[in-house]
Amino acid sequence: MPDHTPQELMVAAAAREIRDGELVFVGMRLPILAYGVARNTHAPRARALFELGLLRDQPAAGFLGTMGDPPNVAGALWATRMSNVMALMAQGEVDLGFIGGAEVDRFGNLNTSYVGDPARPRTKLPGSGGGADIAILSRRWVTLMSHEPRRLVERVSYVTSPGHGDGPGWRARVGLSGGGPAAIVTTLAVLRFPEGGGEAYLATVHPGHTVDEVRAQTAWDLRVAPDVAETRPPTAEELAQIRRLDPDGFWTRRG
Amino acid sequence: MAEAIERFVPDGATVAMGTALEPAIPFAAGHEMIRQGRRDLTLVGPISDSLFDQLIGAGCVARVCAAWVGNVSEGLGHCYRRATERGEPSAIEVRDHSNFSISLALWAAAWGSPYIPTRTLLGSDIVTTNPDLEPVDGAVLVRPVRPDVTVLHAQRADAEGRAHLWGPLGISEEAGLAARRVVVCCEELVDAEVILSDPNRVFLPETKVAAVVHEPGGTHPSPLQGHWRRDHAAYRDYAERSRTAEGFQAWLQERVLGVPDRAAYLAAVDRDQLRIRHRLPSAPVDYGDA
């Protein structure tokens, strides 16, 4: 038995996407933990933006169920309106954004709106939130999701948050300023995209899982990097940070 | 509260709420709309952490104009799903936005602009399903969204409707400026001199405010900076009980229809456990001289 949960591994993998000194558009759920882990380990000069209107450096001192919980406001560097936070992203000043996904396709397009016909959907998902804004305006972004064939699909039926569209060059043609998706962190693996966009490939497989299993749980014919490796499990320090930020396992040890 | 909703939120009104995103959601006002049996509302907001879901499940809503409808810590909005997928209890029209575009739609209305051009939503299918968004060459035109009434909950206000809201503001300023009128709910009703000692913190002009409602605890289960933590357990309880239409009806009866007002609702909440304990006051500023 590994000494960490799948969610803890996802948080550690997401945290490693954050480089020191970056301005990060954090989003909700696991990325809130990932920012805290990164800031307290390898990225002590990172800063976090929250779309409701906050800028922070230190992670909140208390547990966060949402970005709007009072501990996230106490000690903020800037408490403001949403449009001011979006202004920074619209100028290309957000290095990295996180987006929660329900469905993603091989080009990293995300659907969080409608499964089936939008006029009479089979499933109505909550919607974009800030997801589409991050996908279009941040310099690069990462999405986290459960790895299942119904989620990693050949082509999303509705593009809420555009990735690389129909392939390399699409973003430039449409006029999207940001660089698009850099990685998909799932419960089984980390998928990455080539420089300049295009199709996702399998970069690392989480410990205890195999390339074949990941490919079987992906609805398209997933390409595999020639140097595919095992995802590095969370270090003791990363785990300690995660468990400090999520002491009751609300995000990382739920059923 | 009952009088404010009766007078300023008629059937068919376009109502903006939850404009600070997760904090300061005016649940008490929403629940009063449900008790008064409001119908055909258009709800406007960014993410609506469960309040829109409750109004939809209660049959109050004809249209939603928002970036996200669900439960932030628990996920899907089950009433929203039943209404959009099966027309239960009634079908609703959805005008999807992103957080940025709903902000811009309200700024457009606030500024009296026919539209605001933006690069957000380029390449998103949201522009194909929302007629208020028009893609043109290299930009998207965001049409104005004008609420008939914006309902806000602030930490403190005076009787003239001047309110101090602190913490993240989300889209509260543009939602208030764009609205024909504003209903301000407040945690504390204070003397004017308290509010006017810090006019920079007054986030809306008093000329927009039609009613002030002193409603302590009106944001539960959402948090309010300096007063209340978020009641995560209540959000989880709502998510589980609203999973079925029958479960939602039982929840609605117990927590909304079966209680006369907010004070009765709060009697069933463990408020001591949710109260903010660590004080962190800001330093005063000096507005002299006169």
- Chain A residue with CA closest to B52: the answer is A126
Convert the pLDDT of each residue in B126-182 to its tens digit.
999 999 999 998 999 999 999 999 999 999 999 999 999 999 999 999 999 999 999
Rounded to a whole number of angstroms, the distance from the CA of B178 to the nearest CA of chain A is: 15
Q: Which residues of A participate in catalysis according to the annotation?
A: 51
Q: How far is residue B236 CA from its own chain's centroid? A: 20
User: Which 3 state secondary structure label does DSSP give B91?
Assistant: coil
For residue A254, the model assigns a pLDDT of: 76
Neighboring chain A residues of B100 at a CB cutoff of 8 Å = 82-83, 86, 90, 130, 132-133, 137
Cα of B134 vs its chain's centroid, Å: 26
Rounded to 5 degrees, φ, ψ at B91 are: -70, 145
Among partner residues A54, A65, A128, which is closest to B230 by beta-carbon distance? A65
Q: Which CATH architecture has domain B2-104+146-266?
A: 3-Layer(aba) Sandwich (3.40)
Low-confidence ranges of chain A (pLDDT < 70): 1, 255
Q: Would you place residue B216 in the very low, low, confident or very high pLDDT band (cuts 50, 70, 90)?
A: very high
pLDDT of B268 over the 60 cut: yes
Put simply, the answer to whether A82 touches B119 (Cβ < 8 Å) is no
- Kindly list the residues from chain A whose CB atom is less than 8 angstroms away from the CB atom of residue B67: 127-130
Q: Residues 6 or more apart from B86 whose CB is under 8 A from it?
A: none
pTM over 0.95: yes
ipTM over 0.95: yes
Q: Do A53 and B169 touch (CB under 8 A)?
A: yes
Cβ distance of B170 and A82 shorter than 8 Å: yes
Domain boundaries, chain B: 2-104+146-266
Nearest to A7 by CA among A151, A152, A185, A149: A185
Q: To probe the interface with B, which of A55, A63, A69 has the most B CB atoms within 10 Å?
A: A69
Q: Quick one: average pLDDT of B77-105?
A: 97
Nearest chain A CA: its distance from B156 CA (Å): 17
Cβ contact, residue pair B73, A171, below 8 Å: no
Residue B119: CB atoms within 10 Å: 18
Containing A83, the helix (H) or strand (E) segment is: helix A82-90
A with B: how many residue pairs have Cβ under 8 Å apart? Answer: 189
Give CA–CA dist B2/A92, Å, rounded: 46
Query: What are B69-88's pLDDT values in tens digits?
Result: 999 999 999 999 999 999 99
Mutate which: B64, B72, B125, B282, vs A, most A CBs within 10 A: B125
Which pair of structure tokens corresponds to residue B137? 């060459």
Beta-sheet pairing, A23-25 with A96-100: parallel
pLDDT of residue A29: 92
CA angle A192, A197, A200 (to 5 degrees): 35
Rg (CA), chain B: 19
Residue of chain B with shortest Cα separation from A136: B120
Domains detected in chain A: 1-94+233-255 (3.40.1080.10), 100-231 (3.40.1080.10)
Contact B47 A113 (CB under 8 A): no
Residues 6+ apart with CB under 8 A from A76: A54, A55, A56
Answer yes or no: do A162 and B123 touch at CB < 8 A. Answer: yes
Q: Are strands B181-189 and B209-214 parallel, antiparallel or unpaired?
A: parallel
Q: Do A66 and B49 touch (CB under 8 A)?
A: yes
Q: Is the pLDDT of residue B203 over 70?
A: yes
Task: Provide the pLDDT for residue B290.
Answer: 77
Name the minimum distance, in Å, from the CA of B84 to any CA of chain A. 7
Average pLDDT score over residue span B204-229 = 98
Q: Nearest-CA distance from B3 to chain A in Å?
A: 30
pLDDT at A1: 55
